[in-house]
Amino acid sequence: MCPPSEAFLPCQCDPCSLVIKLLCCYQSEQTAGTLSHSVFSYNKMVHFTSLKTLTIEGSSLSSIPVLNYLPKLQKLFLNNNNITDVSPMAFASLTALEVLDIGLNRLETINANTFYLSAKTVLVYNCINSIEEEAFSKEQPAVLDISYNYLPDLEETIFTPILDTVMSSDFDGYINAEENPLHCNDILWLQQYPTYYLYLFLPEPGC
């Protein structure tokens, strides 16, 4: 059952819908009630237990808390916002999640236990310059796109488990790390596993 419309602005709720799309209106005459001028409260999502797709983009959204209210969510698009912080285990309860897109945000560091999931994970066009140990914990994503960031290296202990998952996946998994300022010495470990290159998109490293 839908909450009152004023409780979940700017969403226009259809009680039969499995998709919610929250978009920022950029026209100056249409700013009232948009995400750029309102605070999005994740706890309102408790009303949408059957939701399968959620899109929040073009807003001033700056952080992602632990999401506990969306057991059937399959696709979560949080691209083109101002996200700088993701809570540990933020997505751990989203057991049905297949696609997570946090591209075009302002993430700099991926902390431990941030991505406790196996969904396709898109992190393009952020400012990521470091990834902590166990940032991808429990299950590993079979598709990871971290292109257009600021990573100087691909840490072996972090990326080996992901690449092993990619290679064993039943579909076309891959890691896209193009357009990162990778250093030759910091990806030499890949030469020990030439098969990994079949599943990696890499830039020309700076040597």
Percent above pLDDT 90 for the chain: 57
Mean pLDDT of 137-142: 85
Q: What is the pLDDT of residue 99?
A: 96
- Alpha-carbon gap, residue 87 to 83, rounded angstroms: 11
pLDDT tens for each residue of 35-72: 433 456 666 677 778 889 999 888 889 999 999 888 89
Higher per-residue confidence, 86 vs 36: 86
User: Does 78 share its domain with 176?
Assistant: no
User: Does 102 share its domain with 144?
Assistant: no
When pLDDT is cut at 50, 70 and 90, the band that residue 143 belongs to is very high
Question: Has residue 5 been placed in a domain?
Answer: yes
Q: What is the pLDDT of residue 25?
A: 36
pLDDT tens for each residue of 112-124: 999 988 899 999 9
- Alpha-carbon gap, residue 108 to 38, rounded angstroms: 25
Question: Has residue 185 been placed in a domain?
Answer: yes
> Which residue range(s) make up the domain with 16?
1-110
Question: Has residue 194 been placed in a domain?
Answer: yes
Single out the residue in 91, 110, 129 at which a domain terminates. Answer: 110
User: Does 13 share its domain with 66?
Assistant: yes
Q: What is the pLDDT of residue 196?
A: 94
Q: What is the pLDDT of residue 197?
A: 93
- Alpha-carbon gap, residue 206 to 55, rounded angstroms: 37
Q: What is the pLDDT of residue 103?
A: 98
Phi, psi of 34 (to 5 degrees): -85, 165
Looking at residue 77, which CATH number applies to its domain?
3.80.10.10
User: Does 88 share its domain with 156?
Assistant: no
Question: Has residue 124 been placed in a domain?
Answer: no
Work out how many domains the chain is built from and give that number: 2
Q: What is the pLDDT of residue 9?
A: 46
Stated pTM of the model: 0.81
Mean pLDDT of 177-186: 92
Residue 186 in contact with residue 154, Cβ under 8 Å?
yes
Question: Has residue 207 been placed in a domain?
Answer: yes
User: Does 144 share its domain with 104?
Assistant: no
- Residue 176: which H helix or E strand, with range? strand 174-176
When pLDDT is cut at 50, 70 and 90, the band that residue 186 belongs to is confident
pLDDT tens for each residue of 13-41: 444 445 556 544 333 233 222 343 345 66
When pLDDT is cut at 50, 70 and 90, the band that residue 201 belongs to is very high
Residue 158 in contact with residue 131, Cβ under 8 Å?
yes
- Alpha-carbon gap, residue 40 to 188, rounded angstroms: 44
Question: Has residue 180 been placed in a domain?
Answer: yes
